[in-house]
Structure 1
Amino acid sequence: MNNSDIRIGIGGWTYGPWRGTFFPDKWPQKRELDYAASKLTAIEVNGTYYSSQKPATFAAWANAVPDGFVFALKASRYCTNRKILAEAGESIARFTSQGIVELGDRLGPILWQFMATKRFDPEDFGAFLKLLPASQDGITLRHAVQVRHESFLVPEFVALARAAGVAIVYADSTDYPAIADVSGTFVYARLEAAVEDEPAGYAPPALDRWAEAAHAWAAGGAPEDLPYVADPAPVTPRDTFVFFINGAKVRAPHGAMALIERVSG
């Protein structure tokens, strides 16, 4: 593994308070993605959660970023915000067939995020995982699930995710329980506990800690100070994605850049 296998970024690139704090003064709004991609190595797209996009839009995003940059896409809420997940097949197919393959090698993981009220139903959740396609139009798809209810804090959930080859999102959150068990071929972490009092959202010692965690994940290990509910996964190098998102959003780009500097140093 090398540092290019650790990608670090933020959620989206259109946010008013970033103008003048992250983006230079008077920077053209239509070129904000270009600028963000020059400073970061990944972006999690939230807009795909709320509405579908045109194939040309995905192609334009791909053309705006350098080689090695990736987009993680948050899957449509119509796939995950439902009583019976096993019935999400049509919505999942609609999401993956909307043109995301136009991103090509800029396509990172797909994030399937569940409501905090969604409880773990082994049979139904297992059926949902089986609906996630391994590829779309010849492009391999990688999937990550973010669950936010304490009922998922059981080895059975980790076993289901591992059997499906799906990553469990580790979220550093002050509001929801965290699961750090590695379950897929990659690691997906969301750092959601930033505070505005810190210029980078997280204090320098915390950023040092996350840099160590990123290196551990990329090398195939598991950071010792995180919460686990199952036995460790086999040690094997894994692509690692870390996003500064939610929390003090205005600080997110600075947190991501600070972590990139630490990981690359």
Structure 2
Amino acid sequence: MAAIHIGISGWRYAPWRGDFYPKGLTQKRELQFASRAVNSIEINGSFYALQRPERYAQWRDETPDGFVFSVKAPRFITHIRRLRDIHKPLANFFASGILELKEKLGPILWQFPPNFQFNPELFETFLQQLPHDTEAAAALARQHEARLNGHASMKAYGKQPVRHAVEIRHDSFIDPDFVALLKRYDVALVIADTADKWPYREDVTSDFVYLRLHGAEELYASGYTAQALKRWGDRIDAWHHGTQPEDAHLINPKQKPKARKSREVFCYFDNDIKVRAPFDARSLLTRFHLDTQLATTPGQIPAEGVLP
């Protein structure tokens, strides 16, 4: 069976200190702690600014074997350039160090702002430029701007897939042509629970499924009840087994996903304001008995000393 990855969006939050993170745990060891409590984390600092190769390498080294990072792509591309004239920004992003994650590199998340409307031609041009393996990503990285000279990562470290997921926040994307484009370019539609603020759809358009759970009732804040987590667990179980929920909320009900024995699933909790995300993630990991596969449990991680 393909893997199930359940985790959190980011890990450096002041309100978590003394709650999820035990008192006495230094800030520099928070990733080490979090990566032993969940089996995947979505890097979101990359959304706000280009990171450095040495930072990605450090994150890779601080996390256990089998751990996976997803990476949030720069808002400079999606929110500022709004997909126009983005060849060099794309090259800069792929040169910024994500390839240094090596075997721990998961999907790349492309989140679009609420006022970004679906333009089929523009969006297809964007999808055409996305690399789908590390060798293609390294080739694109070598076209970076000169300002990255001396601070660029351009090595593929072998050929492995590079997957992409798109999170939409405008009703104009509720269009069968959008689903067809994602399927054509093997890009996943992010299944985003946003407390009914933005569109929610569950079309399966790739060989993996990507979920972002921003809060059941209050965006970025409210936690998920045991009943809600059971519902999400049931849906993940269906996607993981290559099917889809019987009541799937689809843009195009006529376009069925390809039959598969299993699908890889990535699920990230982003309800971080009230320190619900890591505990909700732990509950869902337990549902799939994935907590037993982690290096240790949060309560066993010492505030100081050597991590396993």
* Normalised-by-shorter TM-score class: over 0.9
Counterpart in the other structure of 2:259: 235
Give the one of 228, 233, 245 matched to 1:223: 245
Q: Contact 2:208–2:263 at 8 Å: present in 1 too?
A: yes
RMSD, aligned α-carbons: 1.8
For residue 145 of structure 1, give the secondary structure of its aligned residue in structure 2. Answer: strand
Query: Which letter maps to 2:123?
Result: F
Is 1:252 paired with 2:270?
Answer: no
Q: Contact 2:223–2:271 at 8 Å: present in 1 too?
A: no
For residue 35 of structure 2, give the secondary structure of its aligned residue in structure 1. Answer: helix
Distance 1:247 1:61 in 2: 21
Q: Contact 1:195–1:247 at 8 Å: present in 2 too?
A: no
Deviates more, 1:17-26 or 1:187-196: 187-196
Give the structure with higher Rg (CA).
Answer: 2
Q: Contact 1:191–1:244 at 8 Å: present in 2 too?
A: yes
Distance 1:31 1:13 in 2: 11
Counterpart in the other structure of 1:19: 17
TM-score, structure 1 as length reference: 0.93
Q: Contact 1:155–1:229 at 8 Å: present in 2 too?
A: yes
How far has the Cα of 1:224 moved from its partner? 2.4
Distance 1:240 1:71 in 2: 13
Give the one of 75, 97, 100 matched to 1:99: 97
Distance 1:256 1:200 in 2: 13
How far has the Cα of 1:242 moved from its partner? 0.4
Counterpart in the other structure of 2:298: none
Mark the runs of 5 or more structure 1 residues left unpaired by the alignment.
Answer: none
Q: Contact 2:190–2:209 at 8 Å: present in 1 too?
A: yes
Counterpart in the other structure of 2:207: 185
Counterpart in the other structure of 2:173: 152
How far has the Cα of 1:170 moved from its partner? 0.5
**1:160-190 CA distances to partner (integer Å, 9 max, x unpaired)?**
0000000110001121011210111211000
Distance 1:151 1:235 in 2: 28
Distance 1:154 1:55 in 2: 38
Give the one of 232, 252, 258 matched to 1:210: 232
Deviates more, 1:107-116 or 1:239-248: 239-248
Share of identical aligned residues, percent?
Answer: 44
Q: Contact 1:101–1:139 at 8 Å: present in 2 too?
A: no
Counterpart in the other structure of 1:55: 53
Give the one of 177, 193, 197 matched to 1:172: 193
**1:70-94 CA distances to partner (integer Å, 9 max, x unpaired)?**
1111001111124652522221111
Query: Which letter maps to 1:184?
Result: S
Q: Contact 1:6–1:239 at 8 Å: present in 2 too?
A: yes
Counterpart in the other structure of 2:34: 36
Query: Which letter maps to 1:185?
Result: D
Mark the runs of 5 or more structure 2 residues left unpaired by the alignment.
Answer: 138-155, 291-308
Q: Contact 1:86–1:127 at 8 Å: present in 2 too?
A: no
Distance 2:57 2:242 in 1: 32
Distance 2:96 2:235 in 1: 35
Distance 2:81 2:132 in 1: 24
Deviates more, 1:161-170 or 1:238-247: 238-247
More helix by share: 1
- When residues 73 and 249 of structure 1 are mapped into structure 2, their CA distance, relative to the original with a 3 A threshold, is farther
How far has the Cα of 1:69 moved from its partner? 1.0
